[in-house]
Structure 1
Amino acid sequence: MGAEREDPFVEAAAEARHRLVAALAAAGELADPAWRAAFEEVPRHLFVPYYYVGVMGGYERLWRDDPDPRRRERWLAGAYEDRPLGTRLRDGDLVSSASQPSLMAAMLHALGVRDGHTVLEIGAGTGYNAALLSHRVGDERVTTIDLDTDITDAAKAHLAEAGYRPAVITGDGARGCPGRAPFDRIIATCALPSVPGAWLAQCRPGGRVLAPLSTGLISLDVRDAEHAEGRFLHTSAYFVPLRGDVPRAPEVHTVGLPRRAVDSELFRFLLTLTAGSLDPYEAHALWQREHRPQRERYGVTVSGGRQWAWLDDPEGPYSWPLGSSSA
């Protein structure tokens, strides 16, 4: 699976891919041999035929068909660096990117995919993550969905060029993909204000949902269509917001808060997680009182028509409703 077709960069890409995988493995990101094989064999460069890098005053476009061989070398080398790659510009601003490989590896590991599992990915992106999933469980068990036709068309083309053919659906990811449910695992590559209830309804009991929430990654174990619970991973995560039939995330206010707190990534995580539910000054007092808690001390519970975030214990004294979403 995943063999490149008439690709002039095959040998150079294989060497660059090997270096990337070795670095990820050395950092402990690829302990699972199945995921190491996927990253070794799926050609990331085919999913980013062009991307943008920041330069003074804006962005520079690197692409595989550039007539300058040195710029082509830069494009290929960048495709296998452990960093996000800007893939779409709008009015001079980046609006979409290919995720950092080490973050993707951490998310896939936390997803807990096993042989025979079916997986729904919310947010098709370039198609690279769907290719990794297809390598792991097979094309027929992977579905990826995105709201924009241009994104799904491009992802489908990239996947086909790399030799993978999972189901690529154009639709509202907030509603899941009922036509291909149920799923054993659901993974989102876009940030949520709360957990769409449709996802739990389309997930088998005992399944898992992994998604960006606030500036972290929540891993929810699903009991049934109305109940799920889990904690945040240690890592930070920044993704574009999920679009479609979802509530808007509440605004985060920092006016009057100490600069030291506002500059702390962990405090901003708490601020975003509690926005609309907890006064920012109360959040700051809690953050200090609890000794600046790490992300993994926080969790989320979905139960019936309610969902809330909490610190340490879902039934403890520190809990907050998540947005205004309907579970």
Structure 2
Amino acid sequence: MGARAPDRDDPVLAVLAATARAALVRQIEASGAFADDPVWREAFAEVPRHLFVPYYYIGVVGGYERCWGESPDPQARERWLNGAYADVPLATRVRDGELVSSSSQPSLMATMLVELRVADGDRVLEIGTGSGYNAALLAHRLGDDDLVTTVDLEPEITESARQHLAAAGYHPVVVTGDGARGVPERAPFDRIIATCTLPSVPRAWLAQCRPGARILTPMATGLLALTVRDAGHAEGRFLHTPAYFVPLRGEHRAEPETVSLGGVPRSARDHELFRFLLALTRGSRDPQETYAMWEREGAPTRERYGVTLTGDHEWAWLDDPEGPYTWPLPG
């Protein structure tokens, strides 16, 4: 559940939060994430991340340790606050030792929001509410809470997010439901952004988009940017950025299959770009054939891969959607 803002009664923490937030913004700016759309700098400078993570978990030997903004120990509260403004992902919900929800790395969030190419007046759907921080950034950027809808499967997550958002002064529409189904009652959307990884793009999203809409979603340790032509057609390429997210929960979730990597050299198995391709082809191509393609094509970067949806078919490809290297994605 949510909690009251930890710095409301602590002026020292309030000052520390402002200083830490400014330092985080400078760090993100130095990474170049704001370069293509500097307006996002103001959003990150104004939206207080610590209000969305009243507690989070850090990995320790044997499990997780909770950092809490209302700890009776002043030093612990300061550590919590500094951690809230570190440019790292934060585990916000753990169940039976498994990570259920997190607040993404701020610089990656900035990259994704810039790549979403939001314009004034756009209606945006976020898949995966998490802490609510990303929805707050969108609401701040658009200046209209009603333009932003965010959906998550877990009632505990959406209720906490509502409280966090209200504490920060934002009131986008928060829906409890299966993100793979979208939110048809709030459609049509100009932009859809997912903060969880999927094995394929749900058709429901396309049906809820206006023609020309942009969808940005994690897939196979990458970020896929699609342009929607109509309810049955979309196409796009991966960005160069690596991205690792919690899987979507719900009917659309597919459990990863175990594959044999016998015959694949260890140098390839450990190569980040090959692991991306392996995830993208899982269940569709033999790993040895995948390796042969990867080596023959010179270890292709993510930007050379794309995805096309047409009618009932959805496939991934290298360089050309009609070229020699294509494979189906799970329906």
TM-score norm. by structure 2 comes to 0.94
Match status 1:21 vs 2:25: yes
Give the one of 282, 285, 306 matched to 2:292.
285
Match of 2:8 in 1: 6
Preserved contact between residue 57 and residue 92 of structure 2 (Cα < 8 Å): yes
CA distance in 1 between counterparts of 2:268 and 2:294 reads 9
Quote how far apart the aligned CAs of 1:38 are. Answer: 0.3
Question: Could you tell which deviates more after superposition, 84-93 or 119-128?
Answer: 84-93
CA distance in 2 between counterparts of 1:321 and 1:108 reads 28
Preserved contact between residue 254 and residue 262 of structure 1 (Cα < 8 Å): no
State the Cα RMSD in Å.
1.3
**Aligned letter for 1:58?**
G
Match of 1:122 in 2: 127
Give per-residue Cα distances to partners, 1:30-67, cap 9 Å, x unaligned.
22232000000000000000011122333221111001
Preserved contact between residue 63 and residue 75 of structure 1 (Cα < 8 Å): yes
Match status 1:244 vs 2:240: no
**Aligned letter for 1:75?**
W
**Aligned letter for 1:46?**
L
Preserved contact between residue 222 and residue 228 of structure 1 (Cα < 8 Å): yes
Quote how far apart the aligned CAs of 1:245 are. Answer: 2.5
Match status 1:204 vs 2:206: no
Match status 1:300 vs 2:304: no
* Structure 2: tracts of 5 or more residues without a match: none
CA distance in 1 between counterparts of 2:277 and 2:258 reads 10
Give the one of 35, 44, 54 matched to 2:59.
54
CA distance in 2 between counterparts of 1:75 and 1:176 reads 34
Change in Cα spacing, 1:273 to 1:73, as seen in structure 2 (3 Å) is same
Give per-residue Cα distances to partners, 1:212-262, cap 9 Å, x unaligned.
111101000011000100000101111111122215155152431221111
Preserved contact between residue 50 and residue 61 of structure 1 (Cα < 8 Å): yes
**Aligned letter for 2:235?**
E
Identity %: 66
* Structure 1: tracts of 5 or more residues without a match: none
Match of 2:114 in 1: 109
CA distance in 2 between counterparts of 1:7 and 1:279 reads 59
Preserved contact between residue 193 and residue 249 of structure 1 (Cα < 8 Å): no
Counterparts of 1:52-91 in structure 2 under 5 Å? 52-91=57-96
Preserved contact between residue 198 and residue 253 of structure 2 (Cα < 8 Å): no
Give the one of 150, 153, 158 matched to 2:156.
150
Give per-residue Cα distances to partners, 1:53-111, cap 9 Å, x unaligned.
12233322111100111111100000000000111122234332110001100100110
TM-score norm. by structure 1 comes to 0.95
Give per-residue Cα distances to partners, 1:99-144, cap 9 Å, x unaligned.
0001100100110001000000000000000000000112110000
Give per-residue Cα distances to partners, 1:258-283, cap 9 Å, x unaligned.
21111111111111111111100000
